[in-house]
Amino acid sequence: MSLLGKAGRAPAAQESGFTAHRAGVDRLLASYRAIPPDANVRLAKKTSNLFRARARSNAPGLDVSGLTQVIAVDPEARTADVAGMTTYEDLVATTLRYGLAPLVVPQLKTITLGGAVTGLGIESTSFRNGLPHESVLEIDVLTGAGEIVTATRDGAHADLFRGFPNSYGTLGYSTRLKIELEKVQPYVALRHLRFHDLRQLEAAMVAIIAERSWDGEPVDYLDGVVFTADESYLVLGRQTDEPGPVSDYTGMDIFYRSIQHDAKQPKRDRLTIHDYLWRWDTDWFWCSRAFGAQHPTIRRFWPKQYRRSSFYWKLIALDHKYAIGDKIEARHGNPPRERVVQDIEVPIERTADFVEWFLREIPIEPIWLCPLRLRDAEGERPWPLYPLEPGRTYVNVGFWSAVPTTPGQQEGAANRAIEHKVSELDGHKSLYSDSYYDQDEFAALYYGDGAYSSLKKRYDPDSRLLDLYSKAVQRK
């Protein structure tokens, strides 16, 4: 039985979903019209997965309260129509009932589909499925001009379809996305491979991606963790329907610690597909340790429903509001720490170069590795605002912490050094956190040889939305 019930009821239930969605769009449009003409248009939402400061405004925001649901699923075509503000937690809960999942499921439950497309997302299927925006078939966008347009790969708004990824809401906001889904099995069998040398790890990633297998077993999921220069791991996942015991990392056990081992042979594990997709959310990768949530005594009494990224976000918000961390450092006679929360991509053959430099220069560990290749193998950089090269493999390196500062040093010294190194290695940096580029360098990296300016003129001619540099870099 599908989510929509018995076969004869599916069309009526789907129509109900579209009816509710249309009502949500009507509320959105009404809220747009209520925003004063001289005020910036923004979302009226209290939560965000951005680590950079959000622009402040006293004007009302866009009402997206009716854009948070899965509208319809077509299990035969393996597609779903999804409202733009729907979280991946809700999307996955719906699609798994059909034995289906989005082609790429970002690591944290509260990331929205629209956010992952306009702000880019990634996960362990990205070495074979690319990035979330590549599985989008069509997208409805509320533009800065207050119009709803439907963008497709080859339609009248193909320029917006291509330019929407990495635009971060500066061209418009998605109201509906039609995406591809893929069939998944109930379980994921894991192998944790240990490496004592980062060059060997890099070579293993190249081989796995080329063959989609390792040591005779298929590889459906691939990511990794670096603890030190001589302790790093690749985590290989294989879909399976074989019954058997599974691990649970939502309780006392911690997933990233389960990866570590000393044996020469791979360490094996099994998870349900649901728990595999959300394996990083319980402890926000490893960042929950900053709140004491990994201490056995504290963890035992930490309510299970609050062991998730959405709750840690609330703790981070309190820290930002009251500067709790800086006050604690000051009590110990230390200067404020610099936040270094970033995801970058470098070509796979430069992975070891970057990680070795990072481990020498930036005192943060562990770090996350996730290889990716664009699904679009033809053409020249088909997504102009984040110009990865078709046919080339990259590795996303994620690191999320803070580092000591030195009195008198330039603001954002560590982040600036990372930006410089990434550019030196022909890489790219995501824009969800702090950035320090000057305007010319930023334009060269993210404006797609004039593509962004053309899109801005067509879809936001009165500049109702912030431009990308103002949103991603400038402090307000």
- The rounded distance, in Å, linking the Cα atoms of 187 and 238 is 8
Per-residue model confidence (pLDDT) at position 5: 35
Which pLDDT does position 392 carry in this prediction? Answer: 94
What pLDDT is attached to residue 8? 40
Supply the CATH number for residue 167's domain: 3.30.465.10
Q: How confident is residue 10, by pLDDT bands cut at 50, 70 and 90?
A: low
Residue for token pair 């999804």: 82
Of 145, 160, 183, which marks where a domain is finished? 183
Angle between helices 413-424 and 351-361 (to 10 degrees): 160
CB contact at 8 A, 78 and 182: yes
The answer to whether residue 192 sits within a structural domain is no
The DSSP symbol for 112 reads B
pLDDT of amino acid 3? 34
Q: What is the pLDDT of residue 59?
A: 66
Domain that includes residue 163, residue range: 14-183
d(CA 236, CA 330): 43
Domain finish residue from 401, 421, 436? 436
Res 58: pLDDT: 61
**Is the distance from CB of 428 to CB of 445 less than 8 angstroms?**
yes
For residue 317, which of 309, 307, 340 has the smallest C-alpha distance?
309
Region 60-82: what's the mean pLDDT?
95
Report how far residue 160's alpha carbon sits from residue 307's, in angstroms, rounded to the nearest whole number: 38
| pLDDT bracket for residue 2 (50, 70, 90) | very low
Total domain count for the chain?
2
- Angstrom distance (rounded) from CA 45 to CA 63: 8
* 6 — pLDDT class (breaks 50, 70, 90): very low
Burial bucket for residue 247 (CB in 10 Å: 0-12, 13-18, 19+): middle
419-456 pLDDT, tens digit each = 999 999 999 999 998 999 999 999 999 999 999 999 99
Tens-digit pLDDT profile for residues 248-291: 999 999 999 999 999 889 999 999 999 999 999 999 999 999 89
Domain with residue 342: its CATH number is: 3.30.70.2520
**452 assigned to some structural domain:** no
Residue 475 pLDDT grade (very low, low, confident, very high; cuts 50, 70, 90): low
Measured from the Cβ of residue 109, the count of other Cβ atoms closer than 10 Å reads 21
Question: What whole-number percentage of the chain has pLDDT above 90?
Answer: 80
In a domain, 7, yes or no: no
Cβ neighbour number for residue 444 with a 10 Å cutoff: 12
Assess if residue 451 is contained within a domain: no
Look at the pTM and tell me if it is higher than 0.75.
Answer: yes
Write out pLDDT tens, residues 359-416.
999 999 999 999 999 987 666 678 999 989 999 999 999 999 999 988 888 999 999 9
Of the residues 162, 183, 204, the one at which a domain ends: 183
What pLDDT, on the 0 to 100 scale, is given for residue 7? 39
Cα atoms in the 13 Å half-sphere on the side-chain side of 139: 30
The secondary element (H helix, E strand) that includes residue 403 is: strand 394-403
Q: Is 127 in contact with 393 (CB distance < 8 Å)?
A: yes
Q: What are the tens digits of pLDDT across the range 193-212?
A: 999 999 999 999 999 999 99
Tokens of 195: 């490496």
3-state secondary structure of 406: coil
User: pLDDT grade, residue 17 (50/70/90)?
Assistant: confident
Q: Which helix (H) or strand (E) holds 152?
A: strand 148-152
Mean pLDDT of the residues in the chain: 91
Q: pLDDT (tens digit, 9 = 90+) per residue, 328-368?
A: 767 877 778 899 999 999 999 999 999 999 999 999 999 99
139-188 pLDDT tens trace: 999 999 999 999 999 999 999 999 999 999 999 999 999 999 999 999 99
3-state secondary structure of 461: coil
Joined tokens for residue 42: 């923004």
Q: How many CB atoms lie within 10 A of CB 220?
A: 21
Q: How far apart are CA 371 and CA 173, in angstroms?
A: 28
In a domain, 43, yes or no: yes
Residue 40 lies in a domain: yes
